[in-house]
Structure 1
Amino acid sequence: MTTLTGPVPPGLLNELSRSRSGELLHHELSARWPETADSLDAIARYAMVPAGKFLRPVMALTVAEAVGGNPEDVVPAALAMEYLHVATLTHDDIIDGDTVRRGRPTVHVAYGMSEAIVTGDYLIFSAFAAITASRASGSRAVAESIAVLAEAGSDLCRGQILEAELVDDLTAGVGKYLEMARLKTGALFRAVCHIGALLGGAEETQAAALAGYGEDLGVAFQIRDDLIVFADPAGTVDKPTTSDLVNGRPTLPVLMAYEAADVARRQALSSALARRSANAPEFEEFRRALIDTGAVARCHETAGAYGQRAIQGLAGLEPSGSVDVLTEIVRWAVTTEP
């Protein structure tokens, strides 16, 4: 069994973004979204450029290569994964009331609420169009990939509704939260890997195993996202770190802390969530409660379990540099290292 312990290569995501796959994606992104006077394309460009770390599209290219395909043939479809991801971020920022994304005003702050909603929708349709531009594996693989993306999109929406049901509910339980994470986060990672495998020419069984890899990785990634807020109280992470707390949304460590707490601490956690405040002293008190109840340690264990399951999805692949990269991404996802 591959071990998930030990040091993670520093700056792994930056390294992937600067890899050959990253270069291909940056070139495609610039070609697809040039500066323009067209209002809709200009807003979409603002949402997309400069790009983030390109984790999902890089993974699509890496999976395609791991199953014997040519990554260059999959670039448009891989970038489609980023379109859908950015579309969900654009809509999420509206739902959460976040005003900063990637160090600058969110789309709805910069351009307006209606414009941001329409731009998110536009990017979703652009994702489907991009898959049809793939030169890999013929029309059947492209049709299957479109179906995979549509299923992931449906799951994302279901996950979003499930997340809304969690607001202010510390009794929801860990199981409901993990199902939300599987739908809202795991679904897109599942699609990324499934589509990369299909367009790379994988057999059905192999493509399904890689889809499972992606889904389990996605859940581990969501747990990492939940944990990093509390591992980085100084707020150096490039994300709205206290958004969940301000919106009364219990994340996995909060739910685990509530399950493990005595009556007095449960009341304290409920009061803290109800305040919807993230000032420094209150946030630090909240953070300490999660650590003291053992919730943070339990979250790490849960992420590790999903990570091991993800690794099992790679078992049928021939050893290669691409498989090594997919393994390192799992190791990164089960830590709170940057």
Structure 2
Amino acid sequence: MTGTMSEALRTDDPAEAIRDALARRRSGSGDRFGELTHYAMAVPGKLLRPLMVVASAEAVGGAADTALPAAVAVEHLHVASLVHDDIIDGDDLRRGRPSVHARYGVADAIVTGDALLFDLFTAVAECVAPPRVVVAVVAEFARAGGDLCRGQVLEAAMVSPGGTRPGSGLEDYLDVAAFKTGALFRAACRAGALLGGGSAEQVDLLGDYGHHTGVAFQMYDDLLPYLAAGASGKPDLSDAANLRPTWPVLLAHREGGPEHREAVETALSGALPPAETLELLRFAVTDSGALEAARRGARERSHRAQACLRGLPGTAAVARLTGIAEIAVDRDR
């Protein structure tokens, strides 16, 4: 498997090499278990996290092919988290098609997510690197997985009765974004830098870049229900149905007038159907000017990420990482 991965990455398109490696990992099993994991992995998104693994290895002067198994691993962890998130949120749509639990049921979806989590360790074990480096990469992914779980618990506390009120929720929101989204971006970059032979300082810089890029990504992701219908690939009503105080909603409450604060508080009270909740939040976000403020905040975070890349030796890889930070806050690129 490792040799095949190395050959694949000698193409001019790292994303194509990653897609090929992911497809090969799911081939050869025709039973129901294979069908489940294949379905979960069959429609990859932009592959930002795997691409960050490979680019981070190159950014510190390493070879891309040494990082490909870890790139496969991080996508398994990401997809596993999406499978479980969809169950928690009750979302029946993911990337424009039925989510795993909507198609196969909750029990099989839980097992599918668990299987992908275990398979990520198999993938990391295929990295051709000194044992201490492989162990460090495993630790990075395990830490990120724990942070994802911590972020989910914090988010649940924000939306529970007696949880964080909109007026005091921005710090809590940033903690959730750092754990649920920033942690996996951070781990991807640190893993790549470790496999590329980066110094401790370079690993830390790329980890900071990943953290800020992930937070920027989440900030912009929260804007999608207010920008275009269906832009996120999951139901636009998801955040509203789950009474989730997202980045633009919290900004509308902080920076808007009394009518906007009242709209946010009424929407998040749980007294309205999801469609009405979204419409009320849409009024608060767009009418208060919070939509543009939220865009600016996401872009500022993206710029912080890009500043971490200065001085790294891999010029072409740094350019790709810069592009990823820009894509994080502009999905039309």
TM-score (norm 1): 0.88
Number of the residue aligned with 1:220: 216
String of CA shifts for 1:42-80, please: whole Å, max 9, x gaps.
211110113222111111111111212221222111110
1:92 to 85, 88, 104: 85
AA at the equivalent of 2:148: L
Q: 1:278: how far off?
A: 4.2
Number of the residue aligned with 1:164: 156
AA at the equivalent of 1:91: H
Number of the residue aligned with 2:147: 155
Judging changes above 3 Å, is the alpha-carbon distance between structure 1 residues 100 and 131 closer, same or farther for their aligned structure 2 residues?
Answer: same
What SS does structure 2 have at the residue aligned with 1:240? coil
- Structure 1 contact 35–42 (Cα < 8 Å) conserved: no
Q: Separation in 2 of the partners of 1:191 and 1:276?
A: 39
Gaps of 5+ in 2: 1-10
Q: 1:31: how far off?
A: 1.5
Q: Separation in 2 of the partners of 1:94 and 1:42?
A: 19
Q: 1:325: how far off?
A: 1.1
What SS does structure 1 have at the residue aligned with 2:112? helix
AA at the equivalent of 1:96: D
AA at the equivalent of 2:214: G
Judging changes above 3 Å, is the alpha-carbon distance between structure 1 residues 105 and 19 closer, same or farther for their aligned structure 2 residues?
Answer: farther
Tell me the matched-pair count: 318
AA at the equivalent of 1:142: V
Number of the residue aligned with 1:323: 318
String of CA shifts for 1:294-318, please: whole Å, max 9, x gaps.
2222212221221122112101312
2:132 to 130, 137, 140: 140
Number of the residue aligned with 2:8: none
Judging changes above 3 Å, is the alpha-carbon distance between structure 1 residues 179 and 85 closer, same or farther for their aligned structure 2 residues?
Answer: same
AA at the equivalent of 2:169: G
Judging changes above 3 Å, is the alpha-carbon distance between structure 1 residues 89 and 217 closer, same or farther for their aligned structure 2 residues?
Answer: same
Indicate the larger mover: 37-46 or 74-83. 37-46
Number of the residue aligned with 2:36: 43
Q: Counterparts in 2 of 1:236-251, with a 5 A limit?
A: 236-251=231-246
AA at the equivalent of 2:153: I
- Structure 2 contact 182–215 (Cα < 8 Å) conserved: yes
Q: Separation in 1 of the partners of 2:125 and 2:277?
A: 50
AA at the equivalent of 2:252: A
Q: Separation in 2 of the partners of 1:158 and 1:19?
A: 38
Gaps of 5+ in 1: 1-17
- Structure 1 contact 228–336 (Cα < 8 Å) conserved: no
2:207 to 177, 191, 211: 211
2:267 to 242, 263, 272: 272
What SS does structure 1 have at the residue aligned with 2:309? coil
Number of the residue aligned with 2:4: none
2:170 to 169, 174, 182: 174
- Structure 1 contact 257–289 (Cα < 8 Å) conserved: yes
TM-score (norm 2): 0.89
Q: Separation in 2 of the partners of 1:112 and 1:334?
A: 34
Q: Does 1:59 align with 2:44?
A: no
- Structure 2 contact 61–313 (Cα < 8 Å) conserved: no
Number of the residue aligned with 2:301: 306
2:230 to 209, 228, 235: 235
Q: Separation in 2 of the partners of 1:102 and 1:331?
A: 21
Indicate the larger mover: 312-321 or 223-232. 312-321
Identity of aligned residues (%): 44
- Structure 1 contact 245–276 (Cα < 8 Å) conserved: no
User: How well do the aligned residues superpose, as a CA RMSD in angstroms?
Assistant: 2.0
